[in-house]
Every structure is written in structure tokens, then in C-alpha cells.
Structure 1
Amino acid sequence: MYIVQIASECAPVIKAGGLGDVIYGLSRELENRGHCVEIILPMYDCMRYDHIWGLHEAYRDLWVPWDNGQVHCSVFCGWVHGRLCFFIRPHSDQNFFDRGIYYGSTDDHMRFAFFSKAALEFLLVANKRPDIIHCHDWQTGLIPVMLYEMYAYHGMDRQRICYTIHNFKHQGIAGADVLHATGLNREDYYFQYDKLRDNFNPFAINYMKGGIVYSNYVNTVSPHHAWEARFSGISYGLGHTLELHQGKFGGILNGIDYDVWNPEVDRYLPHHYSSTTFAEKQKNKQALRDRLMLSDDHDKPIVAYIGRLDDQKGVHLVHHAIYYTLHRGGQFVLLGSATEPGINAYFQHEKYYLNDNSDCHLELGFNEELSHLIYAGADMIVVPSNYEPCGLTQVIGLKYGVVPIVRGVGGLVNTVFDWDYDQERTPEERNGFVFYQTDPHALESAMGRSFDLWYNNPDLFRKLAIQGMECDNSWNLPGEQYMSVYEHIRA
């Protein structure tokens, strides 16, 4: 099968979050299953060109119809750690992707509408006719719309679209100017409720809604989050649209790439280990303490938080976890960057306040190498998210023998099974601790049980950590599920 992935990220060349890891990992899994996979991306000026091999101009003169004119583009081609990627570079005064950032411009809605149009135009003129076009998140939500309303009449009527939603919070809201720029035009047609009109703003179109309405299949990135999207407010206003299209909506859990996230082969670790050589993990714990200048006390567990610092991630509980850990005699390591100035200032204050505490280290920013060492050195990891479509932190932690302490939402429910209370799994299948409310007492109930097990029964804690390492959170099962979706919509 010939599959084209169209997205705004692909790790490690373009990575702002988990989306980039998913694009790379899923593409690799599909290729390993014998399918032809190509990835189309924007050519940002700030992407990691050092991760591209053989970058060359593959299509020199791509003229993209845009806003009653044409924009001249070049399409470059290169290999990103074995994945064949095409990068679209527009030559226009608007400098769509020469901003020094991936996201955050005031005209993001126009930038990614152009990228979607350019990706389809490239497939058309380059005579590429994939069986499946797999689009991701709001940035590519207009691709299904333009494919079936425009490009289907120009020789692309057999292509089928799978549309994956990674985060419902960001949906792509724009006005009629986008319809005119892309050539869709007909405001009276697209502003109908069953087309692109935003469910709560009659004067706006919604890219993500367009993706849901026009694609052949829609999924989010875990089964439980798919349920939440339909039956709670977590879909940010798209619940009714999902209800209308429930027959083509589901949830497929993300996997992780075990060639990258694996303590047996991780190139960033000073000491490799596995579930059968678990004692070697202690050496990485010592290396982490040495690097971060933490006190050397083997009786203290290290609790970690790795991820963004924003409201989605439950920052009030992250803050509480720091002090609860210190109160229980543990050590806390945080690695993350804030998405809002107020949150950043809040944690900068905590960093200053705790600077002389040898049991705590707050690293405000992101460091890929350090994240690997933290996973390898930590004993527990907290993921207290307000909502979490899938979550990669907890499944990476499991592979590294870190016991996750998570809030029971989204993909966290599908991957972490409570040591004490999960009745649907055998004791041998349980791998962490789960709480459900958003208050500090709920967090303490789960963290307290984890600390009690660490202090009172270290052999059982070690057993729990090893059981987590033996969970299969690879791309194997998700790859199989996506292939079933592709075969279904192609038929």
C-alpha cells in the first residue's frame, strides 16, 4: 500500500511535542510491514537540518494557486533516519515558514492552510496517487475538504483519508478569507453547520471540524480519550460533530519507538540495562545524581516530572508533587518548559527557592539527552494531567523501569493499571498507581501508596517496576490497527 503522511512535525527533524514522535514512529512501523510511506512537511528555517541526509531539490517549480494568484514553491527531498520526507518551501513575501518558530504566529491559520493546499498540489502535479493520505491535527484539517471538493475533480478521486486528532484544544479557527485564499470560495456553502462552520461561532470556519466531516475515518490517540471526546467537554465544542460522525470515529493508542526509547540500547545512557539486569539501573541513578549534584543517599527514591508546564499537564499538582516528595524523604527532578509567562515565573521562583536543596533539581527548559538519563535514573514519574489524549511520558517511563503515578484520564487509563485497585488485570499485569480527582489529596493518595511500597517492601516495588518494563507499548499493535483502518476505508 502507498501511504502519504502529511503533518506539521516529524521527529527528530521537526519536533515541538509528541506529534513529531508519532509521525516518525508510525511511518517506520508501516514501512517495516512492507508498505511504501512518504511524509510531506513544511520546510521551516529552524528545523534540524543535521538530521536530514541527502537533502536535494526534488521539484523545482511548484506553482500553488493562492489568493487569486500563484505562489512559487520548491519541494526538497531527503531522508530523516530512514524515512523519506518531502519539504515544501514557498518563495513568497509572506515567509510562511521562515519565522524561526514552528507555531505561534498570528497568521498560523493562513500558514497551514497554504501548506495543506501546497501538499495537495504537489501530489497532483507530481502524479503521486497514494492509496491513503493520513493527516494530523488542525494544521492539516483542510486537506480532506480540498481533496473532495476540488482535487477529486482533477484526477485524485480514489485517494482515501485517515484524519488523526492529537489534541482537541487547538482546532484552527479562521474566517472567510481562508476560503478565498485556498480557492474553496463559496461562503454560503461552507458556512453551513454540517460543513465547516464552527459549532459556536457562526462567523468562523473550523479546520478540525472540516477534517472530521470530510475524512473517511477519524481517530484520536487512545480509546479512552475517544470516549471522553464524545461524552465529556474534552472535545472543546466538537462533541456534537463527533456524534454525527460516530460511525467513522475511534481511538488508536500511540506507541513508542523502542529503537530510540530503550534502556538496552539508548545511546544517551552511561549504563545499559533490561528487565533481567535491572540492578544496573542503579548506576544510572548514581550518574543522574552526580550530574544534577543531588545528595548521594541510596535510601531515597527519585521522583521525576518530564514534560510541558501548562494547564493541560496539571501544573498545580506538579508543584504539589515536589513538596510532597521532599516531605516523604524523596528527591525530585523536573525537566520541562512553561508555555505561559505566568507559569514560567512561578516555577522560576520555585527553582530559586529550592536552589540550595540537595534533594531537588528543577531544569526549566528541554534537553533531550538529559531526559533519557532522568528516565533511566528515576524510580517514579508523576503525570497528573488535567487531560491527556495519549501521553508518551508514562509509556517511556514504563520501558525504563520507572513506576508511573498518573491521573486516570485519556491514554493514561489505557496504559497504567493500578497496583492496588485494578480489578480488570491480574497482579502480574499491573504497573503503576492511578488517582482520579484533581486535588492535592488525590495525588497524595497515589504517591503515598507508591512511597509506602518503596520504603516498606522494596522487593515488591522492584517487581512492579520490572512488570512495567515488560509491557508492550511499541508500534506493533497500533500499526496493525491503522492498517485495518486503511484497508477498511480503501475498500
Structure 2
Amino acid sequence: MYIVQIASECAPVIKAGGLGDVVYGLSRELGIRGHGVEIILPKYDCMRYDHIWGLHNAYRDLEVPWDGGAITCSVDCGWVHGQLCFFIEPHSSDNFFNRGCYYGCLDDHLRFAFFSKAALEFLYRTNKRPDIIHCHDWQTGLVPVMLYEIYKHHGMENQRVCYTIHNFKHQGIAGANVLTATGLYREEYYYDRDRLRDDGNETALNFMKGGIVYSNFVNTVSPHHAWEARFTDVGCGLGYTLHKQQHKFGGILNGIDYNVWNPEVDPYIPYHYSKDDLEEKAKNKKALRERLWLNHVNKPIICFIGRLDDQKGVHLVHHAIYYTLNRVAQFVLLGSATEPGINTHFSHEKQHLNDNADCHLEIGFNEELAHLIYAGADMIIVPSNYEPCGLTQMIGLKYGTVPIVRGVGGLVNTVFDRDYDQNKPPEERNGYVFYQTDYQAMESAIDRAIDLWYKSPKEFRKLVLQGMKYDYSWKHPGDQYVGIYDHIRHK
């Protein structure tokens, strides 16, 4: 199959979150299977050009119809770690992608509406006719809308769209001006409740809703999160639309790249190990303590790696630090705050705990240190309020670091409680799960993990090995996506 991914990110050249990892990881998996894959991206001024090989001009004067006129674009082409990428650069006073940032501008809805239009225009003008166009998140929600309403009538009637939602929280809310700009025009038509009208605001259009309504298949990034999106407030107002489109909606768990996250080959850790020689993991624990000036004592290390924000259960992260220390264990945190108030709070905690040799808080993000923490810690806490998929718990399992997670989203699909999971036999359980958002629920799970580490080291080791046996690579998601592509291609 010939597959084109249209997205606002692709790691490592453009990465603000998990979306970039998924676009790259899935594209690589599809390529390994023999499918032709190309990726279309905005050409941001602040992207990592050092990760692009052979960047050259592929199309010089792409005239993109826009707001009653046209904007001329150039399209560059290059290889990002083996993946063929096209970068669209508009030449206009709007400076859509020369902002020094990927997101966060007041006109983001127009920036990405233009990108979606330009991507389709590029496919149309270059006579590229992929079997599948795979779009991601609200930024490309208008692609299937414009494909069906405009480009279908100009020789692109055979293209099929898979639309993946990574985060329901950001949906792309806009006014009628986006219809004029993109050439969709008919206001009354698109403000119909079963098309683009936002369910929470009758005067607004919703890009993500458009993507759901017009694409041939819609998925989010874990089976349980798909259920949550339909039946709880995690869908952020899109429950009605997902109910109407339930025949083409599902959940596919993300994968992780075992070329990057693998203690057998990881270049960032001093000692390589696997489930067959787990003793080497203890040497990484010693190296982590030396790096962070922690006490060399017979205690477990619990870690947190990720963003410090409400989604990640920041109040529980804070509580976990002090509860862990009171339970005679060590705590390591590596996290960057998305809000100034949270950053100030954790910076204060860092100062307060600075002299505690059983604790280290690293505010910010450091890729090299993240690898060493995964390899050196005994347990990883993931107390998210909501989690579409979650990668840290899957990475933790690969590194023999037992996850302690809240039972939401993809965490439910990947971590199975050692003591209470009724759907897995004891030999297939791999961590600890709690469900409520109160301190006591999390404390109970932490207690069970620490008690096992101290009182039954052989049983703890067994749990570690059971977790390391799980395969959360892109192999299984790759099978599922190819199955979906085949299904919608023959509809």
C-alpha cells in the first residue's frame, strides 16, 4: 500500500509530545512491512534540522487557494532517520510557521487549516494518489472534510482516510472565517450538528469533529480510552458524535520503539541487561545513585518521569514523593511543568528536599537521564487523571521497572495488578493498579509494591521478569493499522 501521513509532528525532527513519537514509530513499522510511506509536515523555523538528511526542494511554486486568493508555497523533501518527509513552507506575511514555536498562537486554527489545505493541494498537484491518508489530531481534522467536499471532485475520489485522535482535550475550535479561507464556504451546511458544529458552542466549528464525521475510520490510542471517550467526560463533549459514528470508531494501543527504549542496546546506560541477565540492572541502580548523589542503601527507588500537569495527576505525584520517603524508600523525579505555578511549586520542593540524600527532583527534561532512571529505578509511578495511552509504563516494563499506575486509559490495557487482576493469571501480571484519585488509593498500591520488595525479593524479581516479557513494540499496532487500512480501502 501507498500511505501518506499528514501530521503536525514527527519525532525527532518535530516533537512536542507523544504524537511525534507515534507518527515516526508507525511510519517506520509500516516501511519495514514493505509499504510505501511518506510524511507531510509543516516546515517550522524551530524544528530540528540536524535530524534531516538530504533536504532539498521538491516543488517550487505550489499555489494554495486561500481566502479568496492564493499563497505560494515551496515544498522541501528530506529523510528523517529513514523516513521520507515533505515540509511545506508558505511564503506570505502570515508567517504561519515562522513563529519560534509549534503551537500556542492565537491563530493556530488558521495555521493548521492552511497546512491541511496545502497538504491536499500538494498531493493533487503532484498527482500523488495514496491508498490511505492517515491524519492525526485536530490540526489535520479538516483534511478529510476538504478531501470529501472539494478534492474528491478533482480526481481524488479513491483516497481513504484514517484519523487518529491522540488527545481529546484540544479539538481545534474556530469561527466561520475558516470556511471562507479554505474554500468550503457554505456556512449553513457546515454548521449542521452532524457535520462541523461544535456541540458545546453553536457559533463555533470543531476541527476534530469534522475529522470524526468525514474520515473512513477513527481511532484513539488505546481500547480503554476509546470506551472512556464515548461514555465519560474524557471525550470532552464529543460523546454524541462518537456515538453517531461508533461503527467506524475504535482504539489501537500505541507502540514504543525498542531500538530506542531497550536496556539490551541502550547507549545512554552504563550496563546493558535483559530478562536473562537481570543482575546488571543493579549496577545501573548504583550508577543512578552516583549520578544524583543519593545514599547507597538497601532501599527501593521509585521514580516519576513525565510532564508535571493536571493530566498527569500532579497532586498525586507531589504526595508520592513524601509518602515514599516515609515508607523508607527513595524517590527520583524527572519532569517539566507546563504551568508557571506548578513549576514554582516543584522548584520550591526541590530546594526543600535538596539535602535529603534519599530524594532527587530534576525539574526540566533530560533524555540521557531519563534512560538511566528507567534502568536504575525499581518502580515507576504513573498516577494520571487521564491517559490516552501512556508510554512511560510500557518503557518501565521493558526496563524491569515495575509500574504503579492509576486505572485509566491505556494504563488499564498495559498494566495488570499483581494481587487483584481477575483477567490475567498470576504469571501474566506485571504491576500495581489503583483507581481512585485520593491519596489513600495510591498509598495502598505503593505499600503493596514496597512490601513485596522488602519482604519477598524473589517474588518481586518474578514480577519484574513477568513485566519484561511483554511486547509493546509497534508489531501488534502495526498489524491492526494495516488491517484497518485494508478494510477501508476495499469499502
Q: TM-score range by the shorter chain?
A: over 0.9
Matches of 1:289 and 1:94, distance apart in 2:
50
C-alpha deviations, 1:246-277, integer Å up to 9, x for none?
A: 00000011111111111111111111111101
Correspondence for 1:154: 154
Correspondence for 2:18: 18
Matches of 2:406 and 2:104, distance apart in 1:
29
Q: Percent identity?
A: 76
Residue 313 (str. 1) matches residue 312 (str. 2):
yes
Correspondence for 1:142: 142
1:14-53 to 2 correspondences below 5 Å: 14-53=14-53
Which residue identity does 2:318 align to in structure 1? H
328-337 vs 168-177, greater mean Cα deviation: 328-337
Matches of 1:355 and 1:93, distance apart in 2:
49
C-alpha deviations, 1:62-115, integer Å up to 9, x for none?
A: 111111111111111111111111111111111111111111111111111111
Matches of 2:157 and 2:304, distance apart in 1:
47
Per-residue deviation, 1:478? 0.6
1:67-466 to 2 correspondences below 5 Å: 67-297=67-297, 299-466=298-465
C-alpha deviations, 1:318-363, integer Å up to 9, x for none?
A: 0011001111111111111111111111111111111111111111
Matches of 1:268 and 1:399, distance apart in 2:
15
Specify every segment of 5 or more residues in structure 2 that has no aligned partner in the other structure, as ranges: none
Matches of 2:421 and 2:405, distance apart in 1:
13
Matches of 2:149 and 2:424, distance apart in 1:
47
Q: Specify the SS of the correspondent of 2:224.
A: helix
Matches of 2:158 and 2:36, distance apart in 1:
17
Matches of 1:224 and 1:304, distance apart in 2:
25
Per-residue deviation, 1:179? 0.8
Specify every segment of 5 or more residues in structure 1 that has no aligned partner in the other structure, as ranges: none
Matches of 1:135 and 1:387, distance apart in 2:
23
Which residue identity does 2:451 align to in structure 1? D
Matched positions, count: 490
C-alpha deviations, 1:274-317, integer Å up to 9, x for none?
A: 110111011111111111111121x1111111111111110000
Residue 57 (str. 1) matches residue 72 (str. 2):
no
TM-score, normalised by the number of residues in structure 2: 0.99
Q: Specify the SS of the correspondent of 1:275.
A: coil
Matches of 2:386 and 2:209, distance apart in 1:
20
Per-residue deviation, 1:60? 1.0
Matches of 2:311 and 2:385, distance apart in 1:
5
Q: Specify the SS of the correspondent of 1:118.
A: helix
Q: Specify the SS of the correspondent of 2:463.
A: helix
Q: Specify the SS of the correspondent of 1:337.
A: strand
Q: CA RMSD in A?
A: 0.8
Matches of 1:87 and 1:455, distance apart in 2:
53
C-alpha deviations, 1:221-267, integer Å up to 9, x for none?
A: 01011111111111000000000000000001111111111111111
Matches of 1:110 and 1:301, distance apart in 2:
50
Q: Specify the SS of the correspondent of 2:277.
A: helix
Matches of 2:180 and 2:193, distance apart in 1:
19
TM-score, normalised by the number of residues in structure 1: 0.99
Matches of 2:128 and 2:286, distance apart in 1:
53
Per-residue deviation, 1:415? 0.1
Matches of 2:408 and 2:39, distance apart in 1:
31
Q: Specify the SS of the correspondent of 1:277.
A: coil
Per-residue deviation, 1:407? 0.3
Per-residue deviation, 1:379? 0.6
C-alpha deviations, 1:110-141, integer Å up to 9, x for none?
A: 11111111111111111110000000000100
Q: Specify the SS of the correspondent of 2:59.
A: strand
Q: Specify the SS of the correspondent of 1:56.
A: strand
Which residue identity does 2:15 align to in structure 1? K
C-alpha deviations, 1:144-193, integer Å up to 9, x for none?
A: 10000001011111000000000100000000111111111111110111
